[in-house]
Structure 1
């Protein structure tokens, strides 16, 4: 039975057109899902000059069936949480698109974006989201020369490849895949954010070419050593929790770090942090830290430090009642937050 959408449900009144289905496509068994007839046009009553179209959770299987060719000013197309298996039928609107969102569909390969679609077809595309699909290889995206944001979260990708030429890319998200090695990133000189959490990476390596990198997230991997970060002098945020690191080291050149997350590792000594003079937040919960003296020696001289997390360490578990006071006395009055608790003004006056 075709899905019937009242006209008023398609428009938000502010230029964006949003579908409101009865239930999420991803929450029902496949046999129970109501599917669109191939010739159904959900957008028949929508003006052809709209710039934004959102069709989320509509069980859409075919992009060509949407009849998008008449939307000559379309800039942002969101087809999240549908049943699309192939990227096709976008050639006519490709030159205008800035943002294409195909998050949570059934894509197992990338097609319809390649050079065979025509020179300059995707010249304005800045953001492409292919997260939560079944894609195994990164292909047919290198020609998207103006791409700034590329999302491949939660696919089946085992290798970083075929990204050379994306010289304007600033944000690359590859979390939740099967990647074992950091590689083939030298062709991304503008990259400022790299997200690699929840993969199978064993070593920090081949990052030296990313001189503009400001955020590196590599949580929940298999890393045992902090290394090869000395060339990332502009790095501001490092998230490396849930790994197997035993020693804090190799950060002497990362003097612009503002946030360091080393939660849930195997670190027993707080050391080699005193050079991080711009550090604002240190997340170090669930390690093996025992010494308040080390804490004071490494961190008290960092005037910018405002937030620390040490819960789950022996120094907190040994005497939970006095732990917060000891941390506050060790680090001084500039501290604003210990774990999840904000330090009040009256507490900060206690010496």
Structure 2
């Protein structure tokens, strides 16, 4: 605290507020997430941007200045208000030849925009729109490695067979009835088709896939997976599957989710030795002895098992018995052990 007998401190004229100049040419990343901007009129765009993130704003028209950002590699318009007409000018942005990632997720699109001009595109995301068809994807570059079209209204897998570099394909929450046109995806690692209307598994001869999700479809059989021996994770919950089959050759399998089906026994996985997570809850499995025999190959490896809402879950000493069967178990249903 200043002594009252001391003279007041005088301002030093050399300490006046100074304007700080920023060299915009040195800025390569601009993140404007959640600014709720209706437009970019008050935003100065650094000329050497590599990454421009405009997620969660209220943009409904493209700013033409973005077309001049010749170094741009990543561009996100996620969660805005773009409709088909508003996004159309992007198809003529010839200066963005190096664009690798384009995110149009969660807007108001009803069709796939023309992105053929981006010859180096690696990631393309149009999930959470109102797209009814994949028509237009035939123009997209064959360099794409990740394609996300989930939560739309797509009815057919089409115009994608030229995407031979594809590693991740997400078509969950659409209206697909048939798995088709996958045969050229020899590098595909992950296939996400949950929440559709698919009745039969058809991988079109692919054996490279490591993760597949067909949750909440209309499957009554697991047949179709048996030749895909690279599989590490399978998600088939919420279907009408009555028998576990076609799994005995999947020696790399670590995660198997067949919860909420019509299973009465555990079959065809007794020779698997790498299972870590096994989800069998909400089925009709009667005895823990059946579990012990069915999962005998992974007794030492298994760390998580879900069996709740099966008759066997009512067995006396339920947890203790499972701990005895699986000595390294860390989680039984929702209970996690230290």
TM-score (norm 1): 0.82
Q: Is the 8 A contact 2:152 2:174 kept in 1?
A: yes
Aligned ranges 1:58-77 → 2 under 5 Å: 58-63=57-62, 65-77=63-75
- Give the aligned partner of residue 308 of structure 1: 305
- Give the aligned partner of residue 48 of structure 2: 49
Query: Which deviations, in whole Å up to 9, do the C-alpha atoms of 1:207-259 show, x marking residues without a partner?
Result: 04322100000001110111021220111110000111111111122121111
Q: Is the 8 A contact 2:27 2:49 kept in 1?
A: no
* Distance in 2 (alpha carbons) for counterparts of 1:260 and 1:14: 46
* Distance in 2 (alpha carbons) for counterparts of 1:290 and 1:329: 18
Runs of 4+ deviating beyond 6 Å: none
Q: CA RMSD in A?
A: 2.0
Q: Is the 8 A contact 1:74 1:93 kept in 2?
A: no
- Give the aligned partner of residue 217 of structure 2: 221
2:197 corresponds, among 197, 200, 212, to: 200
Shift of 1:318: 4.9
- Give the aligned partner of residue 19 of structure 2: none
- Give the aligned partner of residue 141 of structure 2: 144
* Distance in 1 (alpha carbons) for counterparts of 2:332 and 2:30: 44
Task: Provide the secondary structure at the position in 1 that maps to 2:297.
Answer: coil
Task: Provide the secondary structure at the position in 2 that maps to 1:160.
Answer: coil
Shift of 1:279: 1.2
Q: Is the 8 A contact 2:27 2:46 kept in 1?
A: no
How many residues in Structure 1 have an aligned counterpart in Structure 2?
A: 308
- Give the aligned partner of residue 11 of structure 2: none
**Of the two, which has the highest radius of gyration?**
2
* Distance in 2 (alpha carbons) for counterparts of 1:209 and 1:94: 37
* Distance in 1 (alpha carbons) for counterparts of 2:48 and 2:35: 27
* Distance in 1 (alpha carbons) for counterparts of 2:223 and 2:94: 47
Shift of 1:340: 2.6
Aligned ranges 1:33-44 → 2 under 5 Å: 35-36=38-39, 41=41, 43=43
- Give the aligned partner of residue 329 of structure 1: 324
Aligned ranges 1:125-136 → 2 under 5 Å: 125-136=121-132
Structure 2 portions without partners, runs of 5+: 1-23
- Give the aligned partner of residue 184 of structure 2: 187
Task: Provide the secondary structure at the position in 2 that maps to 1:194.
Answer: strand
- Give the aligned partner of residue 8 of structure 1: none
Shift of 1:92: 2.7
| Correspondence 1:275 to 2:281 | no
TM-score (norm 2): 0.85
